[in-house]
Structure 1
Amino acid sequence: MKIVCISDTHNLHDTVVVPDGDVLVHAGDYSMQGHVAETQAFLTWFASQPHRHKVFVAGNHDFIFEKREQQARAMVPPGVIYLDDEGMTLEGVRFWGSPVTPFFHHWAFNRHPSSIGRSWDLIPDDTDVLITHGPPSGRLDRLASGQTVGCPQLWEALETRLRPRLHVFGHIHEGYGQVSGGGRTSVNASIVDEYYRPANAPVVVTL
């Protein structure tokens, strides 16, 4: 299965040259504020892509999926899969997606350290492809300042219980890239850089 990974397009999805593949994954922050018009524009574009399966999670900018979830879910067109602490099996491959990120200035889907682990506890042990908006601590999560800002609880879950073959995320634009180790490929698929300029290409991973 060829999985094409993108994230953090922030309304600039039309600038992305999307490679062919079986599954197109967007790991959140398709918008700047999650307004209806932004959401509709993204979903129209996403649904038009030729990949057999198209899967996305929301990000901290995508407020509509938290504040008006019923309306937002109704906007998702046929052929597009939205995951919010839930999973889906595609051609025998088990996907799980979560929009949750550590608390920071009251953005969407932010969770405090005392509660964020509840989302990670929901992830099944046998997940093959994990999609989270944010990175785990210490994995492609370094800001330009040098500070690492990934989620420690997610890192702990990955180190002690979960064994996904692929983990796709974004959120930290400066962390773009991929690393492999311990049977897992980790991809920060942020398309824009820290200045919100479209600077990075989609990442393609074959399972």
Structure 2
Amino acid sequence: MKIVCISDTHNRHAELRLPPGDILVHAGDYSMRGHVAETEAFLSWFAAQPHRHKVFIAGNHDFIFQKRRQKARAMMPEGVIYLEDEGVALDGLKLWGTPVTPIFEDWVFMHGAATIGTYWDAIPDDTDVLITHGPARGVLDRVLPECEQVGCPRLRQTLDARLHPKLHVFGHIREGYGQVVEGLLTSVNASFLDHRYLPVNPPVTVTL
């Protein structure tokens, strides 16, 4: 099963050169502000891709999915799967997606330390592919120029203590693009744009 991972395309999805695969995963921030026109353009492009399954979550820039939930859901084209704190089984793999990240400025789907854990606690134990918008603490989460680690500590605790996914796909921290393997877990920061909002990072393909 080949999973093609992308994230943080910010309206520049048409510039991607996607490799073939079975599942195309977008880990959020397809837009800059989640306007209707941005969302329509992304969904039209995403639905047209040849991958058998197309799955995405929202990111902190994708306002429409929090502010106008019914409108956003009504725009979903056939063949596209949107996950918001929910899961789906595809060809024997169990995927779970959530847009939640720790609080940073005034964006959407952000939660503080008092509530964010409830979203991680909702992830089923048997999840094979975890899709979150942001990283766990210490995993491809350093920001420039200080190289500070800004991933979610509570998500890291949950992964260490309870969850055992084969693949964790995220973005959000554009400086952290890349992948690391720790034991049986492959973690992928699939940000297409870098910290300067330049489209320089190719999609990451993981075979499970």
TM-score strictly above 0.5:
yes
Counterpart of 2:154, as a letter, is: Q
Confirm whether residue 201 of structure 1 aligns to residue 196 of structure 2: no
- State the shift of 1:140 in Å: 0.2
SS at match of 2:114: helix
CA offset digits 1:155-199 (Å, max 9, x no partner): 000000000000000000000000001210000000000011101
**CA distance in 1: counterparts of 2:112 and 2:69, whole angstroms:** 21
SS at match of 1:114: coil
**CA distance in 1: counterparts of 2:97 and 2:178, whole angstroms:** 19
**CA distance in 2: counterparts of 1:106 and 1:160, whole angstroms:** 31
SS at match of 2:55: strand
What is the match of residue 133 of structure 2? 133
Confirm whether residue 19 of structure 1 aligns to residue 29 of structure 2: no
CA offset digits 1:79-111 (Å, max 9, x no partner): 000000000000110000000000011201011
What is the match of residue 168 of structure 1? 169
**CA distance in 2: counterparts of 1:152 and 1:181, whole angstroms:** 17
Counterpart of 1:149, as a letter, is: V
What is the match of residue 186 of structure 2? 185
**What do you get for the CA RMSD once the two structures are aligned?**
0.4
* Consecutive unaligned residues in structure 1, runs of 5 or more: none
**CA distance in 2: counterparts of 1:126 and 1:71, whole angstroms:** 32
SS at match of 1:94: strand
Query: TM-score, normalised on structure 2?
Result: 0.99
* Consecutive unaligned residues in structure 2, runs of 5 or more: none
Alignment of 1:58-207 (within 5 A): 58-145=58-145, 146-207=147-208
**CA distance in 1: counterparts of 2:196 and 2:11, whole angstroms:** 14
**CA distance in 2: counterparts of 1:115 and 1:24, whole angstroms:** 30
**CA distance in 2: counterparts of 1:66 and 1:134, whole angstroms:** 17
SS at match of 1:45: helix
Structure 1 stretches of 4+ moved >2 Å: none
SS at match of 1:179: strand
- State the shift of 1:56 in Å: 0.2
Query: TM-score, normalised on structure 1?
Result: 0.99
- State the shift of 1:143 in Å: 0.6
**CA distance in 1: counterparts of 2:112 and 2:143, whole angstroms:** 20
Percent identity, aligned pairs only, is 67
- State the shift of 1:46 in Å: 0.2
**CA distance in 2: counterparts of 1:170 and 1:99, whole angstroms:** 11
**CA distance in 2: counterparts of 1:62 and 1:3, whole angstroms:** 23
